[in-house]
Structure 1
Amino acid sequence: DKKAVLEVLTIFGSTTFFGIPIIAAVYGELGVMYASIFNIAYRVFLYSYGYIKMSGVKVDKKNVAQMFLNPIVLATFLGMFIWVFQNSLPQITVAGKEYAFLRIDKTAFWLFRPMTYLAALCSPLAWISIGAKLADISLKEAFSSKDSWIYSFIKVLGVPAINIVALYILNVTNILPISFVGLATVVIMMATPTATVAAAYAIKFDKESLMTSNCSLLSTVFSVVCMPLWIVILEVIKSLEIFG
């Protein structure tokens, strides 16, 4: 259980709440677009592979269909469809500009606003659950967890470094050319702390929930400290002009 939980916690980070705002601040709209595309595949794997590992369900036809028919996965693909084909969908004029009728951020703000509020509740609710678990132990005990420290080091420093090496090899061999902003997006998204959904899985399925809460706490602190370091390293890489 511990191995499976640490595996999932290492793969998935808090990309939406933690990663995208940093990318938006440093790399602007282009970075946000790359981060959003990154999140499509991320969400599919989080709600399929992540769910399988944490719940312990068997991979059979019934369960695979159930996972890919998950409302969040369906909504992710629906959102991508609307984004790609928005100019081909029926248009509605709003304030002198035309938008696809499914662009509810422009055409049905009364619906979009409450949905935005609901979306923002996900992470705080997961933090409440994490805090409830941490309330069972002292802060000193949480910070003395060896497994949590090792995890935080690997998650925030090791995983992004591995991605830099892998993407460099793919770039110089021309197998997968990538721009600097693309590289920076991947590194920052992978350097984020524990994903709240992954932590919620651990608590829901009672798999190392206390260790997961420790990991979430320490990796968040670790990520806050190390994120400026990663941005500096990325600027050094940019100055070397290795990536386009």
Structure 2
Amino acid sequence: MQFSIIINQILVLFIIIFIGYIIRKKEIINQEVSDGLTDLLMEVTLPALIISSMIIEINPRLVNNLQISFWVWGGLYLFIIGMISLLSHYLPFSQNQKSVFKFATIFGNVGYMGYPVIDAIYPEYGMLYAIIGNIFFNVLAWTYGIYLFTKKEDGDNKIQFEKLLNNGLIAIIIGFGFLLTGYQLPNPLTGALDRLGNMTFPLSMIVIGSSLTNIDFKTILYNKYLYLISGLKLIIIPLIIFLLLQPFTIPTKINNIVVILFAMPSAATTVVFAEKFGADYTLASEGVFVTTLFSLVTIPFFIYLITL
């Protein structure tokens, strides 16, 4: 049951990516349309997804576990950011490539791929703990992530606050308001946000497929940096996290959910951000494509590992 859901989610991703590739090849969409879809994702559907995922009811009995989950997610994200930032100094990437490398290895597809897997393994409250991880993903992706993509090539790393103040960050602030107060929007508004948010995944896959039209698939086989990204994102990082959590008395369910979600392939947002901010979106597309493909093997491995 669990593995069939994993395989199904990955196959769905690849089918939509393939559709995006075909419609770009047949010139049903062009670069201008692809850029428009990227803007739609950045300005509308992703912010809607963030808000809708944070409109949840928290059972008071879960408060302690949620606090534990909060500190675990926050500490691990900071650790991984530090580790990848240090490693990137020793790699011969340009700034545009380095931003893609960092984002692709730090941020995984915790939503579209992660949620169904967690829901299948832990149907009782599993999604709630996964949402805490997704909150950290959104906060860091829309602040630190955008900082990565807007750093200057000349080494001027001054934070561009005008770029950080974006619809995604505004959505996070609004979402936290709903999360902390427990306020529920009227059903029509909630339904509209859910439907807009659900558009994010197919649209982002179409953008990825569209960007793959510029790729020579033969070169992917010989691109050692794609293997580096895949090895870090799918094996080394989740394995380190698995080992780091062992000495701590963390509830098993939280421990396992964190490991599984950190083992997800690179987030589709990598491509969206790379195209939006003029980074190496070819490397971003290849990274998401290859890590998603390899995750067909690595995710079941980590599910097996945590159940030993």
TM-score normalised to the size of structure 2? 0.62
Residues 121-200 of structure 1: pairs in structure 2 closer than 5 A? 121-169=199-247, 171=248, 177-200=249-272
Number of the residue aligned with 1:25: 120
Cα distance in 1 for partners of 2:147, 2:293 equals 28
Identity %: 28
Cα distance in 1 for partners of 2:196, 2:207 equals 17
Total equivalences in the alignment: 209
**Unaligned 5+ runs, structure 1:** 87-101, 172-176, 237-244
Worse overlay, 180-189 or 113-122: 113-122
TM-score normalised to the size of structure 1? 0.78
Give 1:65 shift: 7.2
Q: Relative contact order (alpha carbons < 8 A, sep ≥ 6): 1 or 2 greater?
A: 2
Number of the residue aligned with 2:181: 85
The question of whether the paired residues in 1 share the 8 Å contact of 2:211 and 2:281 is answered with yes
Number of the residue aligned with 1:231: 303
Cα distance in 2 for partners of 1:126, 1:78 equals 23
Change (3 A) 1:165 1:151: same
Number of the residue aligned with 2:59: none
Give 1:125 shift: 2.1
Residue by residue over 1:42-97, the C-alpha shift from the partner in whole angstroms, topping out at 9 and shown as x without a partner, is: 2111111110011216444xx34762x433333334333323332xxxxxxxxxxx
CA RMSD of aligned residues (A): 2.0
The question of whether the paired residues in 2 share the 8 Å contact of 1:4 and 1:53 is answered with yes
The question of whether the paired residues in 2 share the 8 Å contact of 1:134 and 1:210 is answered with yes
Change (3 A) 1:158 1:71: same
Residue identity in the other structure for 2:172:
T
The question of whether the paired residues in 1 share the 8 Å contact of 2:109 and 2:264 is answered with yes
**Unaligned 5+ runs, structure 2:** 1-94
Residue identity in the other structure for 1:131:
G
Of 192, 203, 209, the residue aligned with 2:275 is 203
Cα distance in 1 for partners of 2:136, 2:235 equals 22
Cα distance in 1 for partners of 2:173, 2:226 equals 34
Of 103, 113, 120, the residue aligned with 2:184 is 103
Number of the residue aligned with 1:92: none
The question of whether the paired residues in 2 share the 8 Å contact of 1:14 and 1:192 is answered with yes
Give 1:181 shift: 1.1
Residue identity in the other structure for 1:212:
A
Give 1:222 shift: 1.1
Cα distance in 1 for partners of 2:215, 2:181 equals 51
Residues 40-79 of structure 1: pairs in structure 2 closer than 5 A? 40-56=135-151, 58-60=157-159, 63-64=160-161, 67=164, 69-79=165-175
Mark the structure with the bigger radius of gyration. Answer: 1
